[in-house]
Structure 1
Amino acid sequence: MENHPPTTKRSRGVLWQEVDASPDLLLIHFDQPERYPFLLESTSYNIGHAADRNRYDILFAFPEEVLTLEYPDHRTMDGRKIPEPDFLDSLDAWFAEEQNNATTLYSLPPDIPFRGGWFLYLGYELAGQIEPVLYPHLTKNTDTSPVEAKFPIAAAWRIPAAIIRDKQKRKTILVTETHRASFLVKMERDLLSAGSGSTLSIPVTTPHTGNHGQFAETGHGNRDLQTAALLREPMQEDPFRQFLERIAKITRYIREGDVFQVNLSRGWRGLLREGITPAHVYDRIRRYNPAPFAGLATWNDFAIISSSPERLIHMHDGIVETRPIAGTHPRDQNPITDSKLSNALMAHPKERAEHIMLIDLERNDLGRICQHGSVEVNELMVLESYAHVHHIVSNIRGRLTPDATPGKILRAVFPGGTITGCPKVRCMEIINELEQVRRGPYTGTMGYLNRDGSADLNILIRTICQHDNRISLRAGSGIVADSSPERELRETCDKARGPLQALFGQ
């Protein structure tokens, strides 16, 4: 452990310790989910994606105060109602208070991603506070039966400590704020008790046998249990005809000049078998659908289980970047056919035009909080291939203005343009009119915010929402003037294939 200079009574620096072990962090969460409720992972580390987006996994530890926004506009801090009318304003005030209490982050290597701060979850409906014109649209869907409608609108947990796994060096870094120095000992003990293995092996009792098996790729235990369905019964799926009819309505809006593109989604719903926890579901989804911005968040009776390929924002050293995905083709097991599909995607006029339009939208969003002339597209229309789909991806970045607070930045970019459409506000009105349900976590975001203002948040797509034993999943497609309705329908199935196969055990 490093030696650090003394601090004042209220100052909060950072202590850190390196451990020669690289266990699966999900094991630690599974053993103590209340102590370690949030996990962010880059589960596509070994499939050729850029190392800077895949190097670290973070298990957030010892959550403290929580700021929550519930329906309808009910804000609480650790269960106590607070008067501040706006969630992001409350977050900014909290951030400013903690900045006043923080000291230099003593000798912590600059590339260590988390150094004390918050774990954030923002549901899609938070847009009603960001754009007041949307508020009546996003709150009028009062059906509280869907899983997504059970979730709070947004939450921010104060997190003083974390276990960070460096996959490049095969080491683990323990980080805690100085006023919680004892957490280092506790985290090291929990880390070492989880073992040094790199695969997960979680026992679960299945109702049809009563025997214990393991969900793992190690080959241990009963293979049938490793691939068994996690569901009690077949999932319910939104009707195809309903989705096609909604596409027809969107194309009319486009012809009338209301919008250029709308991201329309459809859903699947189901029940988990007895004894299946969010950790079981996440273990499956990270193996069936590896992704750079995956994660698991559990609290109370809620869980967000994500295998997202998309980043909403990353902030570090005054630079903010967003990484939009727009353009999708399915993959094929035959390498020759798969290569043809990826080439067809990159050359497809409709996909390219849609992507360029959304790049312009994201550039405009960043321009609201970046210095004049600093916004640039530093990666333009590159191919990223995942387990089930090919995507077209770009990266846009800019230098933040001095007065850009976390709340202001999130107002500028949330929700992401790729999962709403263009122009964003009118598209969200149409989405609400046609989908007629709250999206909740779907197309929202989760990630972390440090006390120094650095942050990394994903977009919650390829994501399963869980409340008690009920689960839901949504997938969408960008509808433009010349969209083929049947092809857009197939695209939703292609995007949902990974999470669905994880649930079915196929």
Structure 2
Amino acid sequence: MALIQLVLPYAEGAYWLAKLRQSSWPMLLESGQVGQPLQAQTPLSVDEEISLGARFDIVVADPVVKLIHAQQHTTVVTQTETTVTSQDPFAAIQAWLQPNTVPNSVLREAGIPFAGGALGYFAYDLGRSIERLPCLAAQETPVPDMLVGIYDWAIIVDHHQQRAQLVSLARFRTVADIHSLHQQLLATATPEAREQFAVNGTLQHNLSPAGYAQAFARVKDYITAGDCYQINLAQRLSVPVSGDSWQAYEVFRQFSRAPFMAYLQVDDGQEQSFEILSMSPERFLQVREGVVETRPIKGTRPRHVDPVQDALVAESLAASSKDRAENLMIVDLLRNDIGKVCEIGSVKVDALFRLQRFTNVHHLVSIVRGRLAAGYHALDLLRGCFPGGSITGAPKLRAMEIIEALEPHRRHVYCGSIGYIGFDGSMDTNIAIRTAVIYRQQMTFYAGGGVVADSDCDKEYQETLDKASQFIRLVQHFQTQSHDRGS
């Protein structure tokens, strides 16, 4: 199987994405610096960064196929026709990948993670295509439940090797097409800035402290009644905006570097464009040569500039029996989920309660691995685990029913997943937390946390604000800019 590899000048994926923004459905998966240190903090080792995926940036544009799933139907858009199917959305993707499967060894030998395949997002509410759920929360941001492109080429930036290249298996396009694209990338200047991004109002919360406390009390009632062990309860922050969302992403990525960042500039098939800005610290599912990995996060403390205070806070998190128990619940849930499609006896917990430092918070991260059983595809794994248990609660289905009853608005992309599934069967996806959606001049951002029997309401509410702190900072940055321009 011939793999085309054409050298490009080494630059961040954001540089190449900026060149492609005039194209259809440009998308960037970006590996930011993990554990960006505050004053006097020691960065994570290279091995730790590699293990968290902070090595490659992936840039794509102009998919040969667009798959848009909404209201139980998938619209399939090719260069020649548009069709609508009621086929399972995961199967609809697989139908475009399976005829073009390539051996894992092709990409391994090239030292790259992806050379074409499916890339996009799977919204939290795609779970409605898997499970029967009530419809209670308001749907003010009606983006599709799934939006995935089939891409025939990608720009891969390797930050460890400090190289960039255009890669393709030329499954749909010709070799000549790929070489022509390479020349265009070398010749094309970065487009001039578009309309200045602006925040045009004040930040609104869909749950006041009192409203959150009321929902929190109901979660405690459900736990006491035996309905559930843990519920991830979230609030939504929103603000009116205008202008070029890419400018917001460029500022956001400086405030909040993370290992599973993403920028998606897309449309919903109804002439309505929107953007997704993700600074996720959490891997959902990875498949690499048949090995499955998930890295659930549960347990959070805010960072401190003072190194002594920061270390004390980290130590308290690492020693917290409550946070460890919360993490363990989700580890058990994910062991069960990935066990549906993994070889019997292969699922192992390789690390429990590992302390990780991110830009604005400390987290406890665990690592669960297994081996995909014969006859199963990465998409079977994704479907079987979707949405991720770390952002629902346990047991998962009952937790999702309770979330629908207590949260005022549908989560849409939040707590879904962003990532890729390659022609070689590899996959890497994040949990779409720390993620903003800009739709119809409204920017929304959700932040939540797991509530268990001994949770404290005030602390849990503050945790949502800690997780949203970099988004709040982003909003304040542009509010200040607007004020300065007006003065």
TM (norm. structure 1) is 0.85
Query: 1:491 is matched with which residue?
Result: 463
* 1:3 aligned partner: none
Corresponding residue for residue 247 of structure 2: 280
Cα deviations by residue, 1:168-215 (Å, 9 ceiling, x for unpaired) = 1211021022343222442354256568xxxxx974665xxxxxxxxx
Counterpart in 2 of 1:324?
Answer: 296
2:231 and 2:450 in contact (8 A); partners too: yes
Indicate conservation of the 8 Å contact 1:230/1:504, yes or no.
no
Unaligned runs of 5+ in 2: 37-42, 268-272, 481-487
Per the alignment, residue 237 of structure 2 pairs with 268
Matched, 1:161 2:153: yes
Deviations 1:200-259 (A, max 9, x none): x974665xxxxxxxxxxxxxxxxxxxxxx8411111112111111000000000001110
Report whether the alignment pairs 1:234 with 2:202.
Answer: yes
- Written as runs of structure 1 = structure 2, the 5 A alignment for 1:79-118 is 80-99=82-101, 102=102, 109-118=109-118
> Taking structure 1 as reference, are residues 501 and 24 closer, same or farther at Cα in structure 2, changes over 3 Å only?
same
Answering whether residue 283 of structure 2 is matched by residue 295 of structure 1, we say no
- Counterpart CA distance in 2 for 1:82 and 1:481 is 45
The one-letter amino acid paired with 1:287 is Q
How far residue 110 of structure 1 moved from its aligned partner, in angstroms, is: 4.7
1:183 paired to 2:163? no
Aligned residues between the structures: 454
Q: Where in structure 1 do 4 or more consecutive aligned residues deviate above 4 Å?
A: 102-108, 191-195, 201-206
CA change 1:32–1:18 in 2 (3 A) is: closer
Tell me the residue number matched to 2:377: 405
Q: How many angstroms does 1:31 deviate by? A: 3.5
Say which SS state the counterpart of residue 85 (structure 2) adopts: coil
SS at match of 1:437: coil
SS in 2 for 1:272: strand
Change (3 A) 1:69 1:36: closer
Question: After superposition, what is the alpha-carbon deviation per residue over 1:332-380, rounded to whole angstroms, capped at 9, x for unaligned?
Answer: 1111111100000011111011111111111111111110111111122
Letter of the 2:185 partner, please give it.
Answer: D
Q: Deviations over 1:139-186 (max 9, x none)?
A: 454x44x23xx2101122110111111111211021022343222442
- Compared CA separation, residues 322 and 107, structure 1 to 2 (3 A): closer
Q: TM-score, normalised by structure 2?
A: 0.88
> In structure 1, how many angstroms separate the alpha carbons of the residues matched to 2:192 and 2:16?
11
Q: Which sits farther off after the overlay, 494-503 or 35-44?
A: 35-44
Matches within 5 A, 1:124-273: 124-131=124-131, 133-134=132-133, 137=134, 139-141=135-137, 143-144=138-139, 146-147=140-141, 150-178=142-170, 179-181=173-175, 182-191=177-186, 193=188, 203=193, 206=196, 230-238=198-206, 239-273=208-242
Opposite residue 51 of structure 1, the aligned amino acid is: E
| Contact 1:176 1:183 (8 Å CA) reproduced | yes
Looking at structure 1, the residues matched to 393 and 453 of structure 2 have their Cα atoms a distance apart, in angstroms, of 13
What corresponds to 2:26 in structure 1? Answer: 37
Match of 2:392 in 1: 420
Q: Distance in 2 between matches of 1:345 and 1:302?
A: 37
Q: 1:488 to 1:299 in 2, by over 3 A?
A: same
Q: Percent identity?
A: 32
Distance across 2 between alignment mates of 1:408 and 1:376? 19
Contact 1:174–1:188 (Cα < 8 Å) also in 2:
no
- Aligned in 2, Cα 1:359/1:30: closer, same or farther, shift over 3 Å? same
Is the 1:92–1:406 Cα contact (8 Å) retained in structure 2?
no
CA distance 1:261–1:106, shift in 2 (3 Å): closer
Does the 8 A contact of 1:230 with 1:503 survive in 2?
Answer: no
Correspondence for 1:462 among 426, 429, 434: 434
Is the 1:272–1:470 contact (alpha carbons within 8 Å) kept by the matching residues of 2?
yes
The answer as to 2:276 corresponding to 1:309 is: no
1:222 matched to which residue of 2? none
In 1, are the aligned partners of 2:355 and 2:363 still within 8 Å (CA)?
yes
List gaps (5 residues or longer) in structure 1. Answer: 1-11, 196-200, 207-228
Q: Return closer, same or farther for 1:367/1:171 CA change in 2, 3 Å cut-off.
A: same
CA contact (8 A) 1:26 1:279 kept: no
In the other structure, the counterpart of 2:13 is 25
How far off its partner does 1:437 sit?
2.0
Quote the residue 2:58 is aligned against. Answer: 58
| Match of residue 15, structure 1, among 4, 25, 30 | 4
On the 8 A contact 1:43/1:54 being kept in 2, the answer is yes
Q: Is the 8 A contact 2:294 2:369 kept in 1?
A: yes
Measure the CA separation in 2 of the matches of 1:413 and 1:188: 41
Q: Which amino acid aligns with 1:18?
A: V
Counterparts of 1:107 and 1:305, CA distance in 2: 28
Change (3 A) 1:503 1:30: farther
Give the aligned residue type for 1:254: I
**Could you tell which deviates more after superposition, 367-376 or 495-504?**
495-504
Q: Is the 8 A contact 2:348 2:370 kept in 1?
A: yes
Partner of 2:39: none
Query: Quick check: 453-462 or 358-367, which moved more?
Result: 358-367
Alignment root-mean-square deviation, CA: 2.2
Residue aligned with 1:190, SS: helix
Report if the CA contact (8 A) 2:73-2:85 is conserved.
no
Task: Give the letter for the 2:313 counterpart.
Answer: L
TM-fit CA distance, 1:497: 0.5
Structure 1 residues 336 and 103: CA distance shift in structure 2, 3 A: closer
